[in-house]
Every structure is written in C-alpha cells, then in structure tokens.
Chain A
Amino acid sequence: MAKQVKPPRFAITLLRWFCRSDYHADIEGDLLELFDLNLAQKGPGRARWLFIKEVFLLFRRSMIRSINNTQNNTMNMVKHTILFSFRSFKRYKSSFLINLTGLSSGLACAFLIYLWISDELQTDRFHENGPRLYQVLTNEESPSGIVTGEATPHLLADALAAEIPEIEKSISFSPTPNDLIFTLGDMKTKAQGHFADADFFSMFTFPLSQGNPDYVLSDKNHLAISESLALRMFNTTEGLIGKTLDWQIQNFSSSGVINGIFKDTRPNSTHQFDYIIHFEQFEDLVKTYVGELTWETSQPFTYVLLPPKTEPSQVNTKIRDFIQQKTGNNRPDLFLRKFEDKYLYGNYKNGAQAGGRIEYVRIFSIIAIFIIIVACINFMNLSTARASRRLKEVGVKKAIGAQRQSLRFQFMGESMILALLSMLVAVGLIYFALPQFNIITGKALSLDWNINLILTALTITLATGLISGSYPAFFLSGMKPVEILKGKLRNTQKASLARKGLVTFQFVVSVLLIVSVTVIYKQVDFIQSKNLGYDKAQLVSFPKEGKTSENLDLFLEQAAQLPGITQISAISNNMTRSGNTIGAIDWEGKSPETEVIFQFIALDFNMLETLQVEMLDGRSFSKAYATDNSKVIINEAAMKIMDMTNPVGKTMGLAGQDRQIIGVTKDFHFESLHKKVQPAVMVILPQWTNVVMARLEGNNPRETVERLSTFYENFNEGLPLELSFVDDQYQSLYQSELQVSMLSRYFAGFAILISCLGLLGLVAFTAERRKKEIGIRKILGSKAGSIVLMLSREFTQIVLLSLIIALPLSYWITDSWLNGFEYRIRLEWWFFVLSGLITLSITWVTVGIQTVKASLGNPVASLRSD
C-alpha cells in the first residue's frame, strides 16, 4: 500500500487546543472519517485543504473551551492570589499603606535616578562613528606629577593624518566656544560656536538640514550655522546657502559664505554651538598674536577618526613621542581617548584616568539600589511580623493539602501585586516631581514611554516584588502545619532576629546617607565661601569685543569715570577658566631637565587692584613706571617652584625675553578648586586680554550695571553688553557638586522617610502584640513612662548597633570622596555625632508616638476580650 496520507498535524493540534474537551473526541472522529472519504473521492490535496477548512470553521463560540473551564489550576491560583492579596490589603490597612508609601516613593526615587543616569550615559553617544572617534590628549611631566591636557599643537592634526596610516581623518577643533559677532547689514548678532577643519561634519554626526557633510567646510571661506541662528538672523532657514556673513572676534574680523545649515545641537552633546567656521580662519586669528604657527604654539583640540577595527593602542605606540620627533625637545607625550568617554571620564590624575562624572553616576546607582532595598526591607519586615496573624491561614491551607510551591506563589504574588500598585503610584509621583528634578539637574528629562523605558520599569518592579516577597514566601511556606495549628511558634525567635538584622541594615544605610549629605553640604559650602585670594563679591566681567577691543584704553578710562565703578581693567581670561599656558620659561638656577608649565596671565594696568589680590612682596604694576610693560609679576606657587626666596628684582626669561620680577602675589584661584593653584606669570599685555572686569561699589550694583550697559552700548554702536557676576560664574563651576549636593539631600531624605515608615510599622506591630502584657503591667501599677521606655529599648539598641556599623563605614566613604578635591574640609567628629543624634532622635520620635499611644490605652479594653 502506498504511503498513508494523513490529515495535517497542526490542524488536529489546533482543534485539540481550542475545542471543548467534552465535544472534542467525536468531532475529531467525524473529521477523520470525512477526511478518508474525501481522500478517496477528491484526492489528498483537496482532502487536506477541506480538513483545514473544517477545523477553522469549527472555531465558534459554542465550540471553544471556556477560560474558566480549563483543566489546569494556574488560572485558579492566580485568581485566588489576587483575591487574597486584596483582602489582606483591606484587612491590614495601615501596613498596606506603609508598604505602598514606602515602596512607591522608593520606586519613584530609583526611577528618577535611572532617568538621570541613562541621560548621563547617553551623552555624546549619538555619533554614528562614535566608537571610532578619539581625542588626542597630552601627558606632560611637571614637578607635581604628570599633567594631562587637551590642548595640542596647531600643526598636529594635519601631520597625524599625513604620517600615521592608522588615522583615517584628523581635525583641529577650537577648544572653548568663541563668542562671535555676525554682521548682516545693520544687524549684529552674537553667537557661540567653534572653528573646525573640513572633515568635522563627516566625522561627527551633527545632521545637516541643508548642505553636504563632506563639502560644508571644503573652502576656507565656508561656514555653517544652526537652524536657530539662521532663524534669529534671517527669520528663515531656507535659501541661505551662498549668503555672505561678516563676523568679528575681538579685533579680528573676516567674512564667510554659508555653505550648510545644521540642526540645533542635541542637549546631550558636550559641544554646543551655533556656528562652525573653517579652522584656517582660527589660525589666521591666532597668527595675529603669535606670528607663525609652530609646534610650540599650543591650543586646539585634535580629534581623529580611526578606520574600523583599529585598536587605539596600536596608534598610541606610534604617536606617543610624535611631538618630540618633530621638535627634538622634551615635549608632552600623546595618547588617544575615546571621544565617547570625554564627558564621563574626564579627570586624569598623574597621567592615569581618574574618574569624572562617572563617579556621580556610580554614586547615584548605588543610592538607587539602596533606596529600593530599604523599601523592600519594609515589606519583608512587615509581612514576617504579620506572619503570626497569617500563620493560621497557612496552617489550614497546608492541612487541606496546599503545597509549599503554591503558598510561595501566593506570597510572591502578593508582593508582586503590591509592587505593581506601587509602580503606578510611583509613575504619578514622577510626573509630579519631574519638573522640579529637571530644574535641579539642569536636564530636560521626560518620561517618554518607549519599549526600553517600559522594560526597565517592569524589571525594576518585578525585581522589587521578588526581593520583597522572597523572605515571607520562603519563611512562611516552610512552617509545619501541625505545629502552627497547635500554636507552637518555633520560628518566631529566628524571625524576629532576622527582622532586627534587616532594620539594622536600613539604619546603617540611613546613617551613611545622613553623614554623606552633611559632608557634601559642608564641602560645597566650603568651596563657596573659601577665600580665593581675590574678592569675588561685586565683581563683574564681560567679554572685550567690538569697539571696546579696538579702543581699550579709551573705554577703560571713560568707564572708570562712571559712578559706582571703583576699579576696571582687562585680563586674558575669566577667573573660572584656565587660560593660556607657557612652557618656555627660564630662571637662574633652573636645572635643564625641569620642564614647568606656567599659567600665562595677560593684564592691563590696575587689574590686580580690581581683583583685590594681595601682594606678598614687591609692588603691583603701575602706570607711574614707564618700563612696567617689560616687567613681570609672579604668584606664590611660581616662587616656590622656582625655588627663590627673594625673587623681587631678579630676572626670569619668558619665551626668550628677559623680564624683571617686580612683585609676588599671594596665591589666588583662577580655576576649579579641584585643582591646585598653578604657578603663574602676569605681564602687562593689553592686546592679549579678552575680558574686562570691574569692581562695583557696594550699594546699588543694579543701577551701576544699568549705567555700564548704556555706556557700553553707546560706545560699541549698539552691541549689547553681556555681563555676568564672577560670583555666579564661580557657582556654575561647581554646578555638578551643587547638583549632587541637592539631589543627595532629597534622596537621603527619602531613604530616611522610608526607613522610619518601616520602623513605625514594626513598633505598631510590637505594641499591638504586647497589648495584653502592657495591660497587665498597667494594672499591676506600671507607669506609662516606664512602658514607653520598655518598648523603646529594643529599637534604641537596634539604632545604636547600626550607628556602630555605619559611622566607621561612612568615615571611610566620605574621606575617599573628599580626596578628589585639592582643597577639602577635614572630617570633624561632630559630623558623625550629629548624624547619630539625628538618627536616634528620629527613631525616638517615631517609636515614641506609637508607644505613648499604646501605653496610654485603657488596660480594661485590652484585657476584656478572650
């Protein structure tokens, strides 16, 4: 006989799956019989087709098995669990509310932190060539260790591309965004942006709405502007290609042709700019100061693109001594850093990578996890504490034949349901808190529900449910039914020990957070109020540009006459930004190997007086001495490095020029307090200054500012004044510390709140369980006070224990955080005592309210029943 033709397997399986089990057998029989008939009459193909058709036509309501009528028990169990969960929530309202509040605020905190972290991690990660983009950094020996820098020689980019085959593309990029004035007819528009070589747009992904990334900057005269700048200048983004724009930076003016319009830079890009101009223009600008560009003139960033599958280490070995080969001098070593790491791994210590913002990412990840754990512990504690109430339920269920498995499922289910409910509440909280959170962090975070976010939310929720359900699930389900029903509670001792352990852990975390918050707060406060060596109050600064730049002397002279201005002068850079450096410095007794980099500060007369920098020795620059233009003032750090005891009157060589030292200033900070004060030389060089600084009189600085800006606008033919207080600049320098300080305060507050909620629940529970004992004690003559003491003792012990664990730990943690600062506070003993006292008093208040309530109750009420 030929191979037997069979009806399609899948159709039969399908039928068995959906068809009501009591109908299924004979229907399948009918179908098979029909199939055989059809097979004989119409052939196999048609028979199979008819079979499938009949199966699909059977898919009707009366034939389908009902969901309720399934054979397996899972659905019943789920229904049962949900029902029981809600009943138990309803029955124990207070612990349900405590759990819900704790878990939902914990989840909300964790979720906010997640949003922040994922935004941090996304920064600069949007470039298509991302994994292949690198920045060339320099490592330079100095007496205080290896200094890592970003400034590279002007000639480097071209030379690298030409000589190192492993480098596909290489560009120079102007380091700090330049304020620039575009002139279009009568209209002047200020914008911030960068100068970059031709390959900029083909290396980095800054999408162009008009223009071709490969040719945008193909010519020296080409430039590209952002859509928003285009709108500001032309009120349109269309048809601008080929238009000519004049532009000016300080004294340097040039013009360019718009050859591309790019979309506004994303908020999560390190480089924010409104224009990109061909880098050769920047070189022309620099040449006006330094003459020819050599390997010694250092300034731009160098970005390179490696071909796919090229290891940076290969390139590193080749470029290490690249500059030395070029110059023959002892110049810095080069190495590559991934561009994507620029934002998060920005700090280098002695030539090695030493964290950066990634540390804050790590700190907050840990805080998030801690907060979740603390919230979970509440749930675990309250449910094990309540176990005695539910033991009978468990006992009866087990006696009837419930398996351990299904009891576990029930408790897990209960905690999952609670976690899901909390997540819903948490999402509401997040919507509520997000605007404020964005203000603090300076980000534009939002909840946009993409698949990633939903998955994360679900993962966090499920993990929370799992952690918080685990202990009750395993603990309660493992009890022996006979013992439970007999009333023997063998495990309670162990359980209460575990509970105490968990509460101890909660308080360890809380104490850690309190100490950390105190220390962070004090450190930030210290930075803010530290004597910087100059007086930053009432000090304003604004860029020197336009006519001010052309006629600086005239401007300063006239501005000084304005009422309210006590001093005014010009300087090379803002006090919060590191400026130019100079390596070619000589002095008597300098050993030939020492290579020291000095900060080079160009000043106009009167600047040190404006800053109110104190002189350690000698005198300040003064117009009274005709030759002060060729003199130099050094700072204390420079004096120490040059190892001179009496420097005034001696001479030192600056880039080949001998200059006499006329004064030494006390150290003053011109960079972040993360860094030590660098040695600096100050010379009178008005043409090198970029910033005008003025000291205002104490009363009514606002009026003075208004006068100054009217004057400025008149002087500069309509150019608006962009003035800022040095105080504020200084604040923004410590923005990340300020943010961390703020955020950690909030999160610590939440962690403490959650811990206290847990404690509250536990105390309430203890008080209730010992209600009869309290009643008897009172009848026998115990005072309310002694009952309060008795109940508080247990919890005081727990808090004391956690203090013993947490204080040394917190000392270690905060000390290592502070070590990241060059100028740091000392850890005082009272930080720890204070934190301990705060924790203790919070505990006592929490416990006190509950215990007082318990001890004041009428004993008759508690003893009358049973």
Chain B
Amino acid sequence: MKKYQLGEFEEIVLLTVGILHGNAYGVSIKLEIEERLGRSVSVGALQTALRRMESKGYLTSRQGETSATRGGRPKLFFTVTLEGKKALEYTRQTRNELWDALPSPIINLD
C-alpha cells in the first residue's frame, strides 16, 4: 500500500476542505477551523499547508469570481482530490490500527 504522510494540521485542513464541500477558500477554511476546534489559525500557516497539499496532489484549486468585497481579488476554491481522500482514509486507518493495538487496561486506567 502506498504511504501517505499527513501532518496533524494538514489533516485538519484537508478534512475541513472536505466539510466545506465546494465553498472551501482561505477565509472560510480559517473560520471553520477556528470555530470547530477553538484554535486560531494564521493565514501564513494555512496557506502553506494548502499549497503543500496542492503540490502533493491532495487538493486542487480553481479560481472563483472576483468580487468588490475583497479588493477585487478572486477567491481560490479548494476541493479534495481522490488522492486526498485516500490519504485521509490511510491516516484514519493507521490511527485506528494503533488504537486497536493499544492494550485495553491502559485506556481504562482512569
């Protein structure tokens, strides 16, 4: 099986793009993460992660319409690719395997 590597933040971003389904662009992703996870996200970190995953092929982007509200700048919408989906599944599966391998007494300790 192919190896997929996703960092923790990358995984979050990728999932959020999936959640927003078709409406995922910089600001909406940032707000969504901030709202759901209660942590602040800098544009720099977000963009870095987005571009990185785009270059890995987990995301594709398409330019939206320009609108006056953004100083005439277009939105860049991201969608999760098939490759991206596989990466998410792989991550989830490896995570689950690890969980399953954990002996139960340790989890139930508290």
Q: Say yes or no: B51 contacts A26, CB within 8 Å.
A: no
**Cβ-closest chain A residue relative to B40:** A50
When C-beta atoms are compared, the residue in chain A nearest to B64 turns out to be: A26
Chain A residues lying within 8 Å of B103, measured Cβ to Cβ, are none
Say whether A57 faces chain B, with CB atoms less than 8 Å apart. yes
Of B42, B44, B48, chain A has the most CB atoms within 10 Å of the CB of B44
Contact A30/B71 with A54-B42, A54-B44, A58-B43 known, Cβ cut-off 8 Å: no
The answer to whether A805 has its CB under 8 Å from any CB of chain B is no
Enumerate chain A residues within 8 angstroms of B75, measured Cβ to Cβ: 26, 29-30
Q: Which of A25, A26, A37, A59 lies in contact with B44, CB distance below 8 A?
A: A59
Interface: A233 (CB within 8 A): no
Q: Which of B25-57 contact A (CB under 8 A)?
A: 25-27, 30, 42-45, 47-48, 51-52
* Chain A residues in 8 Å Cβ range of B25: 26, 30
- Does B104 reach chain A (CB closer than 8 Å)? no
Q: Is there a chain B Cβ closer than 8 Å to A17's Cβ? A: no
* B15 lies within 8 A of chain A by Cβ: no
| CB of B6 closer than 8 Å to a CB of A | no
Cβ contact within 8 Å between B73 and A57? no
In A56-70, the 8 Å CB interface with B consists of 57-60, 62-63
Bound state CA distance, A581 and B104, in angstroms? 119
Query: In the complex, which residues 9-42 of chain A have their Cβ closer than 8 Å to any Cβ of chain B?
Result: 23, 25-34, 36-37
User: A34: which B residues are within 8 A, CB to CB?
Assistant: 27, 30, 43
Contact check: which of A25, A31, A36, A53 meets B74 at CB < 8 Å?
A25
Contact with A along B53-77 (1 / 0, CB 8 A): 0000000000100000111011110
Q: A30-B27, A33-B27, A62-B52 are in contact. Are A57 and B76 (CB under 8 A)?
A: no
Instruction: Tell me the bound Cα distance from A60 to B30 in angstroms.
Output: 18
Question: In the complex the two chains form, is A27's CB within 8 Å of B71's CB?
Answer: no
Q: How far is the CB of A37 from chain B (nearest CB, A)?
A: 8
Q: Is the CB of B42 within 8 A of A26?
A: no
Instruction: Please count how many residues in chain A sit with their CB below 8 Å of the partner chain's CB atoms.
Output: 21
Main secondary structure of the interface of B (DSSP, over half): helix
A99 to B43, CA, bound (A): 56
A851 to B25, alpha carbons, bound, how many Å? Answer: 78
In angstroms, Cα B43 to Cα A32, docked, is 11
Choose one: A31, A36, A53; the contact of B69 (CB below 8 Å). A36
Within 8 A of B (CB), among A402-444: none
**Residue of B51, B52, B73 touching A28 (CB-CB under 8 A):** B73
Nearest Cβ distance between residue B65 and chain A, in whole angstroms?
11
Most A-side CB within 10 Å, residue of B42, B43, B52, B63? B43
Distance (whole angstroms) from the CB of B78 to the closest CB of chain A: 10
Measured CB to CB, the closest approach of chain B to A27, in angstroms, equals 6
- Find out whether the CB atom of B43 lies under 8 angstroms from the CB atom of A54: yes
- Asked if A57 meets B71 with Cβ closer than 8 Å, knowing A26-B63, A27-B26, the reply is no
A27 touches B47 (CB 8 A): yes
Query: Nearest chain-A residue to B43 (Cβ)?
Result: A54
Give the distance to chain B from A58, nearest Cβ to Cβ, in Å.
4
In the complex, which residue of chain A has the Cβ closest to the Cβ of B61? A26
Asked if B27 and A63 sit within 8 Å, CB to CB, the answer is no
Which residue of chain B lies nearest to A26 when distances are taken between CB atoms in the complex? Answer: B76
Give the distance in Å from the alpha carbon of A39 to the alpha carbon of B48 in the complex. 25
Bound: A25/B74 CA distance, A = 7
Chain B residue numbers with a CB within 8 Å of A28 are: 71, 73
Q: Which residues of A contact B69 (CB under 8 A)?
A: 32-33, 36
Across the interface, do B52 and A30 meet the contact criterion of CB distance under 8 Å? Answer: no
Whether B44 pairs with A58 at a CB distance below 8 angstroms is yes
Q: How far is the CA of A31 from the CA of B42 in the complex (A)?
A: 10
List 24 contacting pairs A-B, 8 Å CB cutoff, sorted by A.
Answer: A23-B47, A25-B73, A26-B26, A26-B75, A27-B47, A29-B26, A29-B73, A29-B76, A30-B26, A30-B30, A30-B47, A30-B75, A32-B71, A33-B26, A33-B70, A57-B43, A57-B44, A57-B45, A58-B43, A58-B47, A60-B44, A60-B48, A62-B52, A63-B47
Chain A residues proximal to chain B, CB less than 8 Å? 23, 25-34, 36-37, 53-54, 57-60, 62-63
8 tightest A-B CB contacts, nearest first: A29-B73, A30-B26, A26-B76, A57-B44, A29-B70, A58-B44, A57-B42, A32-B71
| New contact pairs (13) apart from A28-B71, A33-B27, A54-B44, CB-CB < 8 Å | A25-B74, A29-B26, A29-B70, A29-B73, A30-B30, A30-B75, A32-B71, A33-B26, A37-B27, A53-B42, A54-B42, A57-B42, A63-B44
